[in-house]
Amino acid sequence: MKTIVKSELIDETWKKLNGKVEKNNVDSIIKTFIKIVGREIKEGNIVKIEGLGKFCPYYKTYVGKDISTGKERKFENEKHIRFIPSSKLKT
């Protein structure tokens, strides 16, 4: 399994476009895309990208250990994000 970082995503996109778009423009597009997706998730919106999947923010309440005190406590409304891959990715 490989982890791809943002700079690699920018390079791969630029190569796929055969240099038809300047690399700094590809960089701006990728960064803007990430900002928009991040903002929407922070606002509690579901982001669905056809062929990739859905990012679904949700809140969870659970009992866990407070690392600063070592005592059990209730964590309320902890924000989490679930990614549900597209069926196209599963094949």
Q: Which residues of the chain are under the pLDDT cut of 70?
A: none
Statement to judge: residues 35 and 54 lie in one domain = no
What is the extent of the structural domain holding 25? 1-43
**Based on the domain organization, do 38 and 52 belong to the same domain?**
no
Check residue 84 and give its pLDDT. Answer: 95
Q: Give the chain's domain count.
A: 2
The predicted pLDDT at position 1 comes to 85
Are 15 and 55 contained in the same domain? Answer: no
**Helix axis angle, 6-16 relative to 23-42, nearest 10°?**
130
Strands across the sheet containing 47-49? 47-49, 53-65, 72-85
Is the domain of 73 the same as that of 60? yes
pLDDT digits (tens, 9 = 90+) for 42-66: 999 999 999 999 999 999 888 989 8
Domain CATH for 58? 4.10.520.10
Whether 52 contacts 37, CB under 8 Å: no
Confidence (pTM): 0.75
Both 33 and 70 in a single domain? Answer: no
Would you state the pLDDT for residue 88?
87
Q: Exposed, middle or buried, 40 (CB in 10 Å: 0-12/13-18/19+)?
A: middle
